[in-house]
């Protein structure tokens, strides 16, 4: 979450947390887990409920590893001056909550990976829909990471990133450059 610009960075907590956007301490996280277990225990055994929660934790941990790698790749491009860090960013990492302002294709891909595909992984996992979590979440995250790696390699070869494009300009089948 530090990489998403949400947690303390150099000793201060960003204003984004005013809306209770994250569980910042173990006690608040545990309270949410206890509520989930209590609900699940109404229909399932306590062992099954704990096991399913652990499966979910494992899936999200793995999804977050993919996210961390993708974020580090983009942060490395910032550090090396190959992708300009957004002027309004206070941190040396992409701010995943400013996706509307993503100036490059690689940053746009990173934001889609986080806001869409990681969320689908989370939703499918914790709503007991493994097919949805796999095909619309995890597999898409794997594809996103592959594309981010390839874009980063291209940026390193060419020395610059492609600007993000919208509408027909963003579709090479519809836009001929004129």
Q: Is residue 177 part of a domain?
A: no
The closest of 163, 141, 3, 144 to 83, measured between CA atoms, is 163
Residue 9 lies in a domain: no
Q: What is the pLDDT of residues 1-51, one digit of tens each?
A: 444 444 444 455 555 544 455 656 778 878 888 888 888 888 888 888 888
Judge whether 22 lies within some domain.
no
Q: What percent of the chain has pLDDT over 90?
A: 42
Between CA 94 and CA 101 the distance in angstroms is 11
At 171, the pLDDT band (50, 70, 90 cuts) reads: very low
> Is residue 65 situated within a structural domain?
yes
Domain count, the chain: 1
Q: How many residues does the chain have?
A: 178
Return the CATH number at 62: 1.20.850.10
Cα gap 111→114, rounded to integer Å: 5
Is 128 inside a domain boundary?
A: yes
Q: How many Å apart are CA 154 and CA 45, to the nearest integer?
A: 51
Q: Is 142 contained in some domain? A: yes
Q: For tokens 């150099």, name the residue.
A: 10
Q: Taking the mean position of all CA atoms in its chain, how far away is CA 174?
A: 29
Q: What is the pLDDT of residues 102-156, one digit of tens each?
A: 889 999 999 999 999 999 999 999 888 999 999 999 999 999 999 999 999 999 9
**pTM of this prediction?**
0.75
User: How many beta carbons lie within 10 A of that of residue 134, not counting itself?
Assistant: 16
Domain that holds residue 162: 53-170
Give the whole-angstrom CA distance, residue 15 versus residue 24: 14
Q: Answer whether residue 43 is part of any domain.
A: no
| Residue for token pair 């309004």 | 88
Inside any domain, residue 1: no
Q: Tell me, what's the pLDDT at 14?
A: 53
Could you say which DSSP state residue 45 is in? Answer: -
């Amino acid at each position: 979450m530090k990489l998403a610009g949400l947690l303390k960075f150099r000793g201060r907590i960003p204003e984004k947390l005013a809306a209770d956007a994250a569980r910042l301490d173990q006690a608040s996280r545990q309270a949410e887990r206890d509520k989930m277990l209590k609900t699940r225990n109404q229909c399932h055994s306590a062992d099954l409920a704990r096991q399913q929660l652990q499966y979910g934790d494992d899936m999200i941990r793995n999804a977050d590893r993919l996210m961390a790698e993708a974020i580090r790749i983009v942060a490395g491009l910032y550090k090396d001056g190959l992708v300009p860090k957004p002027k309004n960013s206070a941190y040396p990492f992409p701010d995943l909550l400013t996706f509307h302002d993503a100036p490059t294709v690689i940053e746009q891909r990173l934001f889609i990976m986080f806001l869409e595909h990681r969320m689908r992984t989370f939703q499918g996992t914790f709503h007991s829909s493994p097919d949805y979590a796999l095909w619309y979440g995890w597999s898409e995250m794997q594809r996103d990471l592959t594309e981010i790696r390839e874009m980063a390699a291209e940026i390193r070869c060419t020395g610059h990133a492609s600007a993000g494009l919208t509408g027909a300009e963003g579709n090479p089948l519809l836009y001929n450059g004129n």
